[in-house]
Every structure is written in structure tokens, then in C-alpha cells.
């Protein structure tokens, strides 16, 4: 080997040695902190732990010794919380849209641009961070797309951009998991019944479906009552209409009250309302825990009416049980033709689910 070759070989060896030393220094400075205090009382709280949710993260930790801090690195890893070791980025996690919406304690930080999808670097002009609690709240973080435990690695730096050797450090474990769901079905129902008498608020306890006015008179109002009970959980409520004819006997009729009127003995009248009346003293106001009321045309005491297909009750919401009492009156003139007068009335309740 010539002298020139020997010199070249020695130079190469020196350069190689230098590179090895440089690499060792670099790796060492990356792994091992300069001062190495563990940050105290560390918490990372998620507002939503569902996979891939856009989430709010609350980070809190304590500086346990006063030191110059210019930046804080929060690195999210799937493998472990140990700073300086290789980090497996959580699948699907994205912190690039993170926004720091609040901070307490040693402050003045902002999110550095250019942070990776699994890290947030908070930077500021380097300043002393006293022994204190620091909190940071972020929005706009996309959770990992896979359930499981994840880790946040915290490192503080004297530099303002997360470069150089870190000083303090700490790890936090957090979870992305499925959450309970509760489902319940409330089936639709409509309770509606009619009868001469409904005992209590129970459609199972009904008596009668026939009202007998007896002998009609031009001098005295004849009257009778029936009841109906309604309840429904129809979201849009319900209405009750009725249909039928006035009292009829063959071709003879007793005039239906096409408009509201009081009872007038000696005048042909057939009508009803849904109130407690005094003339005649008959009927009852609506009862039950529900809230519906009669339509105005049928809600005036001592005022009667009979118009086929009229709506007598309407309520726009689900309603608990209501019991209505219909009071029917019949008056006839002196010359009312003899006969058996009959009317059949049908109530229809329509629930709007």
C-alpha cells in the first residue's frame, strides 16, 4: 500500500468514526432528556371516545420543576407512551385540524403549523414555566378509526418549535371504544270508546248505547247524555268528528240546530253540546288528566247544535285520557207529527301519528 493510500484510508476511518460519534450523539439526545423531570398529574380527557369522531381533547399536566419552555410536543401513538422510542401513528387519527381553544397555567402557546397527523406542537417564545398546572383544550381532532388503547407522549423543549433535546416528559393512556346505546320503542296507541256511561276512565267499563228521550213534548225539553273517552300518543294529536242525522220518523224530522241555540220548548230542535248545562240541568264538563277541550261550537253551556260531520274535539298533541259527556236535547212543536223518532250518531276519532 502506498503512502497516499494509507493517508486516504486513515482519513476515511476518521470520518467514519466521526459519523458514528455524531449518530450516537443524535440518537442519545433524541432518546434521553436533558434534565428529565416527569410531568406530574397528567390527564387527557376526550369528549367523545367513538372511533373517527371529531373530538374535543382536554390535556392537563403539572410542571414539577421550573424551567425554560418554548414548546410542548404531544405525540399520539398506538404502541406505547414512552417518549423517544419509535411511535406507531394511530390509524385514522388526524390532528392537523386541531385548534387550541383555551389554555390555563403557563400560557402563550399556539399550535405550530406543519405538525404531523399524530402530533401537536405547541410553541411560544421561550420563557420560564414555573411549577404549576397547565391545561390545554383542543377541538378538531379526528379520533383513531380503530378501537383500542392509545397513548399521548408529552415532551417539553426549550426551543419554540419542538426541536432539540426535550427536557420534561410524560405519558398518558386513553381509550377509543364503542359506547353503549339504548333503544326503546313506544308503540302507537289510540284509546277511544263511547257509551251511555263510562265508569271512571276505563273503556272496559261501559254501559249502554241507547238513549231514550221518552215522549217528546212541546212544553218540556227532553234530554239525554252519552260519554266518550279518548287518549292517544299520536304525535300530532287527534280530532273527533261525528256523523248522523237529526231525529227522524219516516219522512218526518225534528229540526236539527244548524247553529248554536238555547233550548226552546215548543220549537222543533235537536242538538247537543259537551258541557255541563243548567237548561236543562244535564251533562258534565270534560274530565281526566288530559288537556283537550271541546271545540268552541260545542263548548258553551246551554248552547246546542247539530251539524253533520262537525268536529267536536281537536287536540294537536298526544293527550292523556279525557272523558267527554254529550248532552242531547229535543224539543218539538205542537204540530210535530206523531211517530217514533230515531237518530243514529257515529263518533269518529282520528289520531295523527
Partner 1 sequence: MNTTFNFNIRGIKRILYTMLAALLVVAGLPLLQPHAEAAQFSNRSIQMSDSGASGTSITTGVGSGTNVTYRVTFTSTAAVAQSMVIDFCTQDPIINDTCTAPTGMTAATGVSNVAGTAGGTGWTLTATAGQVKLASDANSAHDIVGGTQQIFDLTGITNPSTTGTFFARMYTYGNNSYGTYSSATSTGNFDDYGGTALAITTTVTITGRVQEQLTYCVSAADPTTWATHDCSAPQVAAAPPALTLGHGTPTAVLDSNNVDTGTIYSQLSTNATHGAVINMRNSNTSCGGLSADGGTTCAIPATNGGANTGAAAITAGTAAFGLFVSNSTADPNGGIGTITPSPIYHDSSHTTIPTNLWYGMDTQTSTGTFAGQSAYNGSVTGTFGSVVASTSAPTYRVENTYVFAATASLTTPAGIYTANLSMIATGTF
Q: Does 171 bind partner 1 (CB under 8 A)?
A: yes
Q: How far apart are CA 147 and CA 177, in angstroms?
A: 5
Pick from 30, 37, 46, 333 the residue near partner 1 by CB under 8 A. 46
> Is 286 or 321 the residue whose CB approaches partner 1 more closely?
321
Q: How far apart are CA 30 and CA 165, in angstroms?
A: 6
Q: How far apart are CA 242 and CA 255, in angstroms?
A: 17
Pick from 9, 13, 35, 41 the residue near partner 1 by CB under 8 A. 41
Q: Does 49 bind partner 1 (CB under 8 A)?
A: yes
Q: Does 353 bind partner 1 (CB under 8 A)?
A: yes
Q: Does 86 bind partner 1 (CB under 8 A)?
A: no
CA distances from 243 to 209, 234, 327, 352 (A): 16, 23, 16, 20
Residues 74/119, Cβ–Cβ less than 8 Å: yes
Pick from 29, 54, 60, 293 the residue near partner 1 by CB under 8 A. 60
Q: Does 204 bind partner 1 (CB under 8 A)?
A: no
Which residues are CB-neighbours of 107 under 8 A, at least 6 positions away? none
Judged by CB under 8 A, the stretch of 41-49, 87-95, 324-332, 342-350 that binds partner 1 is 41-49
Nearest Cα neighbor of 342 from 198, 193, 258, 216 is: 216
Pairing outcome for strands 40-46 and 99-104: unpaired
Judged by CB under 8 A, the number of residues near partner 1 is 51
Q: Binding string, 298-327, against partner 1, x = CB under 8 A?
A: -------------------xxxxx------
Which residues are CB-neighbours of 60 under 8 A, at least 6 positions away? 41, 42, 43, 44, 45, 133, 134, 135, 136
Pick from 12, 20, 173, 281 the residue near partner 1 by CB under 8 A. 173
Pick from 10, 13, 48, 102 the residue near partner 1 by CB under 8 A. 48
Maximum Cα interatomic distance, the chain, rounded to a whole number of Å: 151
Pick from 70, 75, 76, 81 the residue near partner 1 by CB under 8 A. 81
Q: How far apart are CA 171 and CA 154, in angstroms?
A: 6
Cα R_g (the chain), whole angstroms: 43
Q: Does 4 bind partner 1 (CB under 8 A)?
A: no
> Is 213 or 238 the residue whose CB approaches partner 1 more closely?
238
Q: Does 149 bind partner 1 (CB under 8 A)?
A: yes
Residues 167/37, Cβ–Cβ less than 8 Å: yes
Q: Output the smallest distance, CB 116 to partner 1, in A.
A: 21
Which residues are CB-neighbours of 233 under 8 A, at least 6 positions away? 186, 188, 189, 318
Which residues are CB-neighbours of 6 under 8 A, at least 6 positions away? none
- Residues of this chain, 277-296, that bind partner 1 according to CB under 8 A: 290
- Residues of this chain, 119-148, that bind partner 1 according to CB under 8 A: 133, 135
Q: How far apart are CA 290 and CA 232, in angstroms?
A: 10
Q: Output the smallest distance, CB 137 to partner 1, in A.
A: 9
Pick from 2, 5, 125, 183 the residue near partner 1 by CB under 8 A. 183
Pick from 184, 338, 340, 342 the residue near partner 1 by CB under 8 A. 184
Q: Does 30 bind partner 1 (CB under 8 A)?
A: no
Question: Residue 228's beta-bridge partner residues?
Answer: 194, 324
Q: Output the smallest distance, CB 181 to partner 1, in A.
A: 5
User: Could you list the residues that contact partner 1 (CB under 8 A)?
Assistant: 41-50, 56, 58, 60-61, 80-82, 133, 135, 149, 151, 170-175, 177-189, 231, 233-235, 290, 317-321, 353
Amino acid at each position: 500500500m502506498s503512502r497516499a493510500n494509507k493517508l486516504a484510508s486513515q482519513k476515511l476511518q476518521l470520518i467514519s468514526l466521526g459519523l458514528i460519534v455524531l449518530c450516537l450523539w443524535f440518537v442519545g439526545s433524541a432518546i434521553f432528556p436533558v434534565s428529565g423531570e416527569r410531568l406530574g398529574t397528567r390527564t387527557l380527557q376526550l369528549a367523545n371516545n367513538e372511533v373517527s369522531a371529531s373530538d374535543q381533547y382536554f390535556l392537563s399536566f403539572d410542571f414539577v420543576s421550573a424551567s425554560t419552555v418554548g414548546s410542548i410536543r404531544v405525540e399520539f401513538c398506538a404502541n406505547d407512551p414512552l417518549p423517544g422510542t419509535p411511535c406507531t401513528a394511530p390509524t385514522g387519527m388526524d390532528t392537523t385540524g386541531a385548534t387550541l381553544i383555551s389554555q390555563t397555567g403557563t400560557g402563550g402557546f399556539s399550535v405550530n403549523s406543519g405538525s404531523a397527523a399524530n402530533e401537536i406542537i405547541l410553541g411560544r417564545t421561550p420563557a420560564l414555566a414555573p411549577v404549576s398546572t397547565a391545561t390545554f383544550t383542543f377541538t378538531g381532532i379526528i379520533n383513531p378509526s380503530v378501537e383500542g388503547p392509545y397513548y399521548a407522549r408529552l415532551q417539553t423543549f426549550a426551543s419554540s418549535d419542538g426541536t432539540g433535546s426535550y427536557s420534561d416528559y410524560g405519558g398518558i393512556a386513553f381509550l377509543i371504544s364503542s359506547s353503549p346505546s339504548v333503544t326503546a320503542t313506544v308503540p302507537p296507541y289510540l284509546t277511544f270508546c263511547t257509551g251511555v256511561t263510562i265508569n271512571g276512565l276505563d273503556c272496559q267499563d261501559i254501559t249502554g248505547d241507547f238513549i231514550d228521550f221518552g215522549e217528546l213534548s212541546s212544553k218540556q225539553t227532553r234530554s239525554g247524555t252519552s260519554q266518550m273517552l279518548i287518549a292517544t300518543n299520536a304525535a300530532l294529536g287527534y280530532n273527533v268528528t261525528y256523523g248522523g242525522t237529526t231525529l227522524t220518523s219516516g219522512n218526518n224530522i225534528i229540526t236539527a240546530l244548524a247553529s248554536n241555540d238555547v233550548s226552546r220548548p215548543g220549537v222543533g230542535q235537536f242538538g247537543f253540546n259537551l258541557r255541563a248545562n243548567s237548561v236543562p240541568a244535564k251533562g258534565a264538563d270534560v274530565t281526566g288528566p288530559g288537556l283537550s277541550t271541546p271545540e268552541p261550537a260545542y263548548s258553551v253551556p246551554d248552547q246546542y247544535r247539530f251539524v253533520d260531520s262537525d268536529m267536536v274535539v281537536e287536540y294537536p298533541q298526544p293527550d292523556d285520557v279525557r272523558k267527554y259527556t254529550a248532552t242531547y236535547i229535543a224539543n218539538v212543536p205542537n204540530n210535530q207529527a206523531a211517530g217514533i223518532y230515531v237518530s243514529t250518531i257515529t263518533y269518529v276519532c282520528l289520531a295523527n301519528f
